[in-house]
């Protein structure tokens, strides 16, 4: 096994104590009652063998019926009380605590995920680790808790039974102890095999789950029916399953070697060796028949207890491997860090010799913290999504960023919002590098309608207010925002007005909006809050020409004192801009007003002429 995967005892201890600390912090009741349950079940498991031992010995030694009855009565009372507690714990208390722990741990992870750099999601290896951490966090915490409860249980029971066995015959106790040591080694090796199996399988299961989502989400249903994507997906699905099976077979052989042959063979041979030794003792007359039966029962119980105790102990190194991934995720430090300056009123935003590469952004510096990481000194030529961009926009200005698909327009906006940092150059807010400002506060200055906006399965009002809607204070704000987004006519047709539930995913009476109507909801979001800068990324892509014209006029009317950045390859929008920036292949190739660029007769003019049949004297012509 590679050296980096070997764990020190101190690391195993720290990781498991860390997760137990999380459980104690998030669900202290779960922690306390798991310890109590372990103690109770420890007494239950040892009591059975001890009661049986005493009862059989009493019968074998000729004790009177009253003594035997006393033992049975004590045993029955103990079991009734213990099992009543056990059923309450596992059927009522434990499921509730699991849910609470799941919610709190995932809430913490969701909060952490919010701080991740956008570039993290461009890195498949990081994304695999992220999904793994999300999936394993509370599951692994529950496993550690239950193993700890069972460990307490087995220690209590094994100690009692082992002490009893030492009084009967120390040689039998020694044989069981040696067998247990060999079982520990088999389990430790098997746990490492299990971890490697899961690590190699994780990307394959992620792909399998993706294909499952494609088939059960309505977003893909039309495409699957009108294209040959089904053939490709099924081919991928089959190939992926074959790889999963290959891994299962590969690691199954190793499991068989260590768990099947190693552990089971040692456990079985030890039991029959003990049994043979006891038969010899019985033949020598040193052990009575009643004592033989009682001892066999104790040996059988302690054999199982020791085996399970060892299994629980050797689970901790396996848990540690997963917990370390989870801890690395929580320790992850984003590249885009908080600044210290407060955000002043907006005056200008300037790009100064800015270049950007996605290859650089998704470099391993964005993976889980690595102290040995050294960033590359330069970016490979030809990999830049933006190349040496310089321009400046000022308060109240309306600009348009235009160009064909892949020109770098959306990348420019991601940099403007500081979802990424430039590879080279700098972006200045009021003459100060935006890295000096708190990124959350800085982004609140910018209202954005993304090209790939999302509508959530909740009410119109909640969608407009981004989840924070108070009917007493926000009603008028929502109505005004929808009016500015030209949604008023559609709103009149909705039965419950702004309380109408969107999509039918969770509500049979929900409403499915058209693409253009949904886009207007997304646009209303920027009007519902005060943003000095508004970015419209393809704001009218889903609208017909007349609706596009009306929306543009509404945007102009309601953003008179704001800075607006239009991103578009449909040039009806550009005519209302104060200045137009033409991008091609990541470069800023032309800039000027609509009239100036037409006169220059360059790429913009060529692009405009290709679309000009839809426009006549500045008016929309519906074709």
How confident is the model over 491-524, as pLDDT tens digits? 999 988 999 998 887 777 888 888 888 888 988 9
Instruction: With beta carbons less than 8 A apart as the criterion, state whether 100 and 30 touch.
Output: yes
Domain 452-530 annotated CATH 3.40.50.300 = yes
CATH number (3.40.50.300, 3.40.50.2000, 1.10.4160.10, 1.20.1560.10) of 28-331 reads 1.20.1560.10
The pTM score is 0.62
SS3 state at 502: strand
pLDDT for the residue numbered 369:
41
Question: Which pLDDT does position 617 carry in this prediction?
Answer: 46
Answer whether residue 313 shows pLDDT above 90.
no
Match 């500045």 to its residue by tokens: 618
Residue among 87, 92, 101 nearest 25 (CA): 101
Which residues, 6 or more positions from 424, have their beta carbon under 8 angstroms from its beta carbon?
353, 354, 355, 356, 379, 388
pLDDT for residue 382: 46
Average of per-residue pLDDT across 294-317: 74
pLDDT digits (tens, 9 = 90+) for 94-122: 899 999 998 898 888 888 877 777 777 76
Q: What are the distances in angstroms from CA 21 to CA 16, 155, 216, 350?
A: 9, 21, 39, 48
User: CB–CB of 549/620 below 8 Å?
Assistant: yes
Highest mean pLDDT out of 40-44, 218-222, 350-354, 463-467: 350-354
Please provide residue 441's backbone torsions phi and psi, each rounded to the nearest 5 degrees.
-65, -40
pLDDT tier, 416 (very low <50, low <70, confident <90, very high otherwise): very high
pLDDT at 16: 92
Lowest-pLDDT range of 219-228, 440-449, 595-604: 219-228
Which is more confidently placed, 472 or 223?
A: 472
- Strand residues in 357-419 grouped as ranges (E): 386-394, 398-402
User: What Å distances lie between residue 402 and 165, 315, 389, 409, 620, CA to CA?
Assistant: 84, 58, 14, 7, 20
Mean pLDDT, residues 369-379 taken together: 40
- Reported as a single tens digit per residue, the pLDDT across 438-493 is 888 898 899 888 877 888 888 899 999 887 888 889 999 999 999 988 899 899 99
What whole-number percentage of the chain has pLDDT above 90?
21
Q: Band of the pLDDT at 393, cuts 50, 70, 90?
A: very high
Q: Where are the domains of the chain?
A: 28-331, 452-530
Q: Is the pLDDT assigned to residue 310 strictly greater than 60?
A: yes
C-alpha closest to that of 588 among 399, 421, 451, 443: 399
The CA–CA distances, whole Å, from 310 to 155, 190, 302, 410, 511 equal: 10, 13, 12, 56, 57
């Amino acid at each position: 096994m590679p050296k980096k995967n070997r764990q020190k005892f101190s690391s195993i201890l720290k990781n498991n104590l860390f997760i137990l600390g999380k459980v104690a912090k998030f669900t202290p009741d779960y922690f306390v009652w798991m310890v109590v349950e372990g103690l109770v079940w420890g007494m239950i498991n040892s009591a059975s063998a001890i009661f049986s031992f005493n009862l059989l010995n009493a019968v074998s030694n000729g004790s009177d019926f009253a003594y035997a009855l006393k033992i049975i009565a004590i045993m029955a009372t103990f079991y009734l009380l213990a099992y009543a507690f056990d059923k309450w714990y596992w059927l009522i208390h434990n499921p509730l605590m699991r849910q609470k722990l799941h919610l709190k741990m995932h809430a913490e992870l969701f909060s952490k995920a919010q701080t991740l750099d956008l570039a993290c999601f461009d890195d498949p290896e990081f994304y695999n680790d992220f999904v793994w951490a999300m999936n394993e966090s509370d599951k692994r915490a529950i496993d550690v808790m239950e193993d700890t409860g069972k460990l307490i249980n087995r220690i209590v029971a094994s100690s009692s039974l082992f002490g009893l066995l030492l009084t009967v015959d120390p040689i039998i106790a020694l044989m069981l102890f040696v067998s247990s040591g060999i079982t520990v080694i088999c389990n430790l090796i098997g746990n490492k095999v299990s971890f490697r199996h899961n690590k190699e399988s994780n990307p394959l299961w992620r792909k399998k789950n993706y294909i499952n989502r494609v088939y059960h989400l309505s977003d893909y249903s039309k495409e699957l029916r009108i294209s040959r994507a089904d053939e490709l997906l099924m081919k991928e699905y089959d190939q992926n399953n074959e790889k999963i099976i290959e891994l299962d077979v590969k690691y199954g052989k190793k499991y068989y070697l260590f768990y099947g042959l190693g552990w089971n063979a040692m456990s079985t041979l030890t039991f029959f060796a003990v049994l043979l030794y006891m038969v010899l003792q019985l033949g020598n007359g040193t052990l009575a028949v009643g004592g033989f039966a009682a001892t066999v029962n104790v040996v059988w119980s302690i054999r199982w207890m020791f085996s399970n105790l060892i299994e629980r102990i050797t689970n901790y190194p396996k848990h540690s491997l997963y917990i370390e991934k989870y801890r690395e995720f929580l320790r992850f430090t984003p590249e885009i860090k908080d600044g210290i300056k407060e955000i002043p009123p907006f005056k200008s935003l300037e790009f100064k010799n800015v270049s950007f590469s996605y290859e650089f952004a998704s470099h391993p510096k964005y993976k889980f913290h690595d102290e040995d990481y050294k960033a590359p000194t330069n970016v490979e030529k030809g990999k830049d999504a933006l190349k040496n961009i310089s321009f400046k926009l000022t308060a109240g200005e309306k600009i348009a960023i235009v160009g064909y698909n892949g020109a770098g327009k959306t990348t420019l906006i991601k940099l403007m919002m500081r979802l990424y940092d430039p590879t080279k150059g700098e972006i200045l807010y009021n003459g100060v590098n935006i890295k000096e400002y708190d990124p959350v506060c800085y982004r609140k200055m910018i209202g954005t309608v993304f090209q790939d906006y999302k509508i959530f399965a909740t009410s119109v009002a909640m969608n407009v207010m981004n989840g924070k809607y108070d009917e007493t204070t926000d009603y008028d704000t929502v109505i005004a925002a929808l009016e500015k987004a030209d949604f008023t006519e559609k709103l009149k047709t909705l039965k419950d007005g702004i309380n109408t539930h969107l999509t039918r995913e969770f509500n049979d009476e929900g409403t499915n909006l058209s693409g253009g109507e949904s886009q207007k909801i997304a646009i209303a979001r920027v009007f519902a809050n005060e943003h000095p800068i508004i970015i419209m990324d393809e704001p009218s892509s889903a609208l017909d020409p007349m609706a596009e014209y009306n929306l543009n006029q509404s945007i102009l009317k309601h953003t008179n004192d704001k800075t607006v950045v239009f991103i578009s390859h449909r040039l009806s929008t550009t005519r209302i801009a104060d200045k137009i920036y033409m991008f091609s292949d990541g470069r800023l190739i032309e800039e000027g007003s609509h009239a100036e660029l037409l006169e220059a007769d360059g790429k913009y003019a060529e692009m405009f002429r290709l679309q000009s049949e839809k426009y006549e004297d500045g008016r929309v012509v519906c074709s």
